Amino acid sequence: MQLKTILNRVQKFKSFVYESARWDETIGRLCLIVTVAARANSRPICSGCEKTGPGYDTMKPRRFEFIPVWNIPVFFEYAMRRVDCRSCGVRVEKVPWASGKHTLTTIYMQFLAHWARKLSWKETAVSFHTTWDKVYQAVQYIVEWGLKHREVGPIFGIGVDEIQYARGHKYLTLVYQIDDLTRLLWVGQERTVETFEKFFAMIGPEVASKIEFVCSDMWKPYLKVIREKCSQALHVLDRFHIVAKMNDAVDDVRAEEARKTKAAGHEILKHTRWCLLKRQVNLTDDQRFRLRDLLGYNLKTVRAYLLKELFQQFWDYNSPAWAGMFLDEWCRQTMRSRIEPMKKIVRMLRSHRELILNYFRARKVISSGIIEGLNNKAKVTMRKSYGFRTFRVTELALYHTLGKLPEPEIGHKFY
Ligand SMILES: [Zn+2]
């Protein structure tokens, strides 16, 4: 069987034929070069307007990288024709296996992008003897194609989250759809009012007016934009962010007290960080003993910890009214604790009381933990794609793994 028989089986083109295959070692590695030719009498298609036109001339043969076989790189070699197009002027022709100036065939980009979702970009490059940069190009192409071809609406529920992508307060704004469809809708640079407004500009007022619930943290710019753009929606402050703030407060208390006790010659708070932050069920045996020991001391840290643990009950309520009463009582008790970071939590809870209680009003539609789950996936994705911690790379990697974007249809499944 000839190589071109196989190629015709997996990827056949109407107006082009596979001619011959030969070995080549000019790039320092053994490669297969398959020459492609236009069928006799076929007219080239203008890459500008996608209409056929008369041929103008033929350029030097170009190579397009195809999917490797048996760890041997495969290239198509084809001399592109130029079209004398009536509307666009002289333009290079459009070919079905590649797009624009790409030297990778579309199917090879799809192949690499597929693996770049399962492996890190670096691992993908190493596995297929290619470069990080080509994997980047592949993901970029597939993501751009997907964004262009996806359907944005209708959207009934969204969650907005911020995430740090590089050192020095470099944040991204991520907007997820969290109704029947769970996917990343949008990635914005920074976490300002202007950033989040761009998301609403992208979806347009028609889609925005149908949003029924919004989940966010307490970041002021987000609250402001939600009030303006989604006034009809039920706005919920996400549990995950409140729990995270509470943990930060306990950790601040511990850190400060640890410094003081250490200065006084005691090491009681050494290595206690995770005992105090983890849920009790997740503690190791060692941590559990450490915690039990610690609870016997009259420390600010212990009091803050107990308040935090008590607050867990809040999430078990069904009725917003009862939850509200619990919240008020917890706040009163905590204000008397004279522990500044915890009092700060109280002030935060009090000033967002209604939005927090919306958690109980929206419980039937928003599954708790959904934003936390997405946030974790986003973090894993960011770790896997680097490379370079630029906004563009991060944005592409996030859309690629969490966007549930459509992909160009293919006849033969190469992966
Ligand atoms: Zn044209």
Arithmetic mean of pLDDT, 62-72: 93
Token readout for 324 is 């509200």
For ligand 1, the distance from its centroid to the CA atom of residue 62, given in whole angstroms, is 21
Ligand 1 centroid from CA 50, angstroms: 6
Cα-to-centroid distance, 93 and ligand 1 (Å): 9
Confidence of residue 263 (pLDDT cuts 50, 70, 90): confident
Output the CA 205–ligand 1 centroid distance in Å. 35
Which tokens go with 267? 């090491």
Which has more pLDDT, 221 or 168?
Answer: 221
**Residue 112 Rama label (left phi>0; alpha psi -120 to 50; beta):** alpha
Q: Ligand 1 centre from 84 Cα, in Å?
A: 8
pLDDT number for residue 387: 62
pLDDT digits (tens, 9 = 90+) for 331-352: 999 999 889 999 999 999 999 9
CA gap 4, 35 in Å, rounded: 10
Ranking 143-152, 191-200, 249-258 by mean pLDDT, the lowest is 249-258
pLDDT above 80: residue 168: no
Q: Is 52 helix (H, G, I), strand (E, B) or coil?
A: strand
Q: Cα of 360 to ligand 1 centre, how many Å?
A: 58
* Segment 34-43, tens digit of pLDDT: 999 999 888 9
Measured in degrees and rounded to the nearest 5, phi and psi for residue 68 equal -65, 150
The confidence score (pLDDT) of residue 3 equals 87
Residue 177: per-residue pLDDT? 95
Distance 83 CA to ligand 1 centre (A): 8
Distance 81 CA to ligand 1 centre (A): 13
Rounded distance from Cα 94 to ligand 1 centre (Å): 10
Mean pLDDT across the chain, nearest whole number?
Answer: 89
**What distance in angstroms lies between residue 150's CA and the mean position of ligand 1's atoms?**
26
- Segment 282-299 shows an average pLDDT of 80
Q: Is the pLDDT of residue 108 over 90?
A: yes
Q: How far is the CA of 58 from the centre of ligand 1 (A)?
A: 17
